[in-house]
A and B are shown apart, each in its own frame.
Chain A
């Protein structure tokens, strides 16, 4: 199991219950965690875990001049993904009429979302708004299915969703979502982002 864990981490992947359940469970053991961490430290890296404990990843042991370039690249990637992902999470909550935010490991039934989009024109508008976020989110045609496919495809490509069942079109959120939530929490706390959520939000959701 050590080799599987090490290879995934060295490849820069997140290791979570959804994408690698056995490896993730093995890392829950202190011995394995210490072994992996010691191994990574020999090459200037370390084992890190997201704030919510839903995913492990490889981090720099120290940040020097050489590492700053990678830090900048990572920050640019996060900035690029922040807005589409926040929109996507909100969109999923609206489509499922759920006041709970999606969490890592949570399953997403594509046909249910598509059904909601087809039934509620407001959701089609929300879906259309994704196109304003760039070419990556712009579908070739404007049918709900094409737009939703494009958005799902992009979220999968970014590593936040993984397809569990191709036939039944079932997806699940990965541990990378926990990483994003950590970023959001940090930005909100450190950039004084406080927007009062409207009290009638549940009603708005119900009205959809």
Chain B
């Protein structure tokens, strides 16, 4: 049993996959003692071709396959490729007719095979181009970040799509089908696999073309808008006192100044209108019934109202003492010493003089109604030394009624 050469090729590609990958990513691989044998095998399979005396690169057909499988960049060139394949197809058809006329069966079979491969290649390439382009349109060229790059891609695809539409139109209008009418197999293949699909491809490409044109317009608008904001920002920065001219006084107002403010609107249902009845019923039904427990009054009996619980506000003893002291000071003819007052009138308070003085200072600083009409005198400690900390040290406070 003969072994399938395709399987052999794939096995060799698999065995030397790292070398193939390196050649794809690096562009070429350097021949060394370690990879010499592998390169020879791959060269025999037409996977590698010499690049320079010691370097090898991937065969362009394999590189093209890998690029179209992995990357969108390769697709950038495919409109040109597809155009070339169409031209190639026309040539192959001519060769096929010539071989048939010369009665060269082997050549006829070979060209027929190549024509069908080319037809499938055109289909795949067109579908690949469209799919890739649609993905790019969907994401608005998200693969590139800058606006300039997006614009560049958009312009490229616009030109490529336009070229493709033209190629498809001229191919569709060509006399190819008429020329191969005498060869039913080829004619059926081209008609069903290519000519029947061209209108669909053309229509899709036309839609894509229109979208790309719209994008181009939008990209230009975005660019202009960004420029305006940038310019305005710079202008405002340089001109901090800028005020727009009094456009509100212009007889011919700009459209944006004609904007009307909101009107104060208050709505209420017209309960006398029968048309509102259903809506009002609906509203009333949507209000939940009061779920709070209620005591039912027995017939003939009175319901006793519950007496609210008594609340006792407990005022601290020192607050009461302070209030009394202020009251006494207002009533006294002579100034009242704060410390003396505590010593005489609030002996039960468990706090020392320092704290008592602080509490008195605090209540006086608040300047509430109870301190109103009182004057305060500070009995200071004598200051020692030429320097002061800024704090005033007091021994006592005197309170007396304002004049």
Enumerate chain A interface residues (CB-CB to B < 8 A).
7, 10-13, 43, 45, 48, 50-51, 57-60, 63, 67-68, 70-75, 78-79, 82-83, 86-87, 89-90, 93, 99-101, 103, 179, 181-188, 190-191, 193-197, 201-202
Q: Are the C-beta atoms of A195 and B259 separated by less than 8 Å? A: no
Q: Distance (Å) between the CB of B147 and the closest chain A CB?
A: 5
CB pair A188 B228 closer than 8 Å: yes
Determine the distance from Cα of A132 to Cα of B402 in the docked complex, in whole angstroms. Answer: 48
The reply to whether B146 and A48 form a contact with Cβ atoms under 8 Å apart is no
The answer to whether B245 and A11 touch across the interface, beta carbons within 8 angstroms, is no
Across the interface, A63 reaches (CB within 8 A) one of B228, B246, B258, namely B258
A59 to chain B, nearest CB (A): 4
Report the separation of the CA atoms of residues A71 and B230 in the bound assembly, to the nearest whole angstrom.
28
B257 touches A74 (CB 8 A): yes
Is B229 part of the binding interface, using a Cβ–Cβ cutoff of 8 Å?
A: yes
Pair B229/A75 contact, Cβ less than 8 Å:
no
Query: Which size class do B's interface residues fall under?
Result: 35 or more
Shortest CB distance A79–B (Å) = 6
B226 contacts A101, CB within 8 Å?
yes
| Cα distance A23–B236 in the bound complex, in angstroms | 36
B residues with CB within 8 A of A: 146-148, 222-223, 225-236, 238, 243-248, 253-263, 265
Q: Which 10 A-B pairs have the closest CB atoms?
A: A12-B262, A75-B248, A101-B226, A195-B234, A90-B233, A11-B262, A197-B230, A59-B258, A195-B231, A101-B225
CA distance A6 to B359 in the complex (A): 65
Q: List 19 A–B pairs whose Cβ atoms lie within 8 Å, in order of A's numbering.
A: A7-B265, A10-B263, A51-B255, A58-B259, A59-B255, A59-B260, A75-B257, A87-B236, A90-B230, A100-B147, A100-B226, A101-B226, A101-B229, A103-B222, A182-B256, A184-B228, A185-B228, A190-B247, A201-B230
Pick the residue among B222, B229, B256 that contacts A179 (CB under 8 A): B256
> Is the beta-carbon distance between B243 and A79 smaller than 8 angstroms?
yes
B255 and A86 contacting across the interface, CB-CB below 8 Å:
no
Question: Shortest Cβ distance from B205 into chain A, in angstroms?
Answer: 28
- List B contacts of A184 (CB < 8 A): 228-229, 232
Contact at A75–B230, with CB atoms within 8 Å?
no
A99 touches B261 (CB 8 A): no
Q: How far is the CB of B226 from chain A (nearest CB, A)?
A: 4
Q: Which residue of B lies closest to A99 (CB)?
A: B147
Q: How far is the CB of B244 from chain A (nearest CB, A)?
A: 6
Cβ–Cβ contact A93 & B226, under 8 A: yes
* Option from A12, A78, A197 in Cβ contact (under 8 Å) with B234: A197
In the complex, how many residue pairs between chain A and chain B have their CB atoms under 8 Å apart? 125
Q: A87-B233, A193-B232 are in contact. List 6 more A-B contacts (CB 8 A).
A: A12-B262, A59-B255, A59-B258, A70-B260, A73-B261, A179-B256
Query: Within 8 Å CB of B244, what residues of A?
Result: 75, 78-79, 82, 187, 191
Q: Which of B231, B232, B235, B245 is most buried by chain A, counting CB atoms within 10 A of its CB?
A: B232
Asked if B260 and A60 sit within 8 Å, CB to CB, the answer is yes
- State the Cβ distance, B373 to closest chain A Cβ, in Å: 39
| Contacts A11-B262, A86-B233, A197-B230; A181 near B243 (Cβ below 8 A) | no
Q: Name which of B228, B236, B245 has the most chain A CB atoms within 10 A of its CB.
A: B228
Shortest CB distance B263–A (Å):
5
Q: Assuming A59-B258, A60-B258, A181-B225, is B232 touching A71 (CB within 8 A)? A: no
A63 to B147 Cα, complex, angstroms: 42
A51–B259 CA distance with the chains assembled, in angstroms: 13
* A197 & B260 in contact (Cβ 8 Å cutoff): no
Shortest C-beta distance, B32 to chain A (Å), equals 41
What is the distance, in angstroms, from A44's C-beta to the closest C-beta of chain B? Answer: 9
Give chain B residues whose Cβ lies under 8 Å from the Cβ of A99. 146-148, 226
Q: Is the CB of A195 within 8 A of B257?
A: no
Residue pair B234, A75 in contact (C-beta under 8 Å): no
Instruction: Assess the A195–B238 pair: CB atoms within 8 A.
Output: yes
The residues of A that contact B255 with a CB separation of less than 8 Å are 48, 51, 59, 182
Name which residue of chain B comes closest to A194, CB basis: B231
A10 close to B222 (CB less than 8 A): no
A185 to B224, CA, bound (A): 10
- Tell me how far the C-beta of B256 lies from the nearest C-beta in chain A, rounded to whole angstroms: 5
Residues of chain B lying within 8 A (CB to CB) of residue A45: 260
A72 and B258 alpha carbons, distance in the complex (Å): 10
Complex-state Cα separation, A10 to B265, whole angstroms: 8
- CA A187 to CA B232, docked complex, whole Å: 9
Cα A78 to Cα B246 with chains together (Å): 12
CB-CB under 8 A from A188, the residues of chain B are 228, 231-232
* Chain B residues near A82 (CB-CB < 8 A): 236, 244
Q: Do the beta carbons of A12 and B228 come within 8 Å of each other?
A: no
Whether B254 and A186, one on each chain, are in contact in the complex, defined by CB atoms closer than 8 angstroms, is: yes
Interface centre among B226, B234, B255 (most CB of A within 10 A): B226
CA distance A66 to B146 in the complex (A): 49
A62 to B238, CA, bound (A): 37
A contact residues around B246 at 8 Å (CB): 75
B229 touches A86 (CB 8 A): yes
Contact A71-B229, Cβ < 8 Å, known A11-B262, A11-B265, A12-B262: no
Looking at the assembled complex, report how far the CB atom of B279 sits from the nearest CB atom of chain A, in whole angstroms.
13
| Residue in B146, B223, B233, B262 whose CB lies within 8 Å of A10 | B262
**Across the interface, which residues of B come within 8 angstroms of A194, CB to CB?**
231
Whole-angstrom distance between the Cβ of A64 and the nearest chain B Cβ: 12
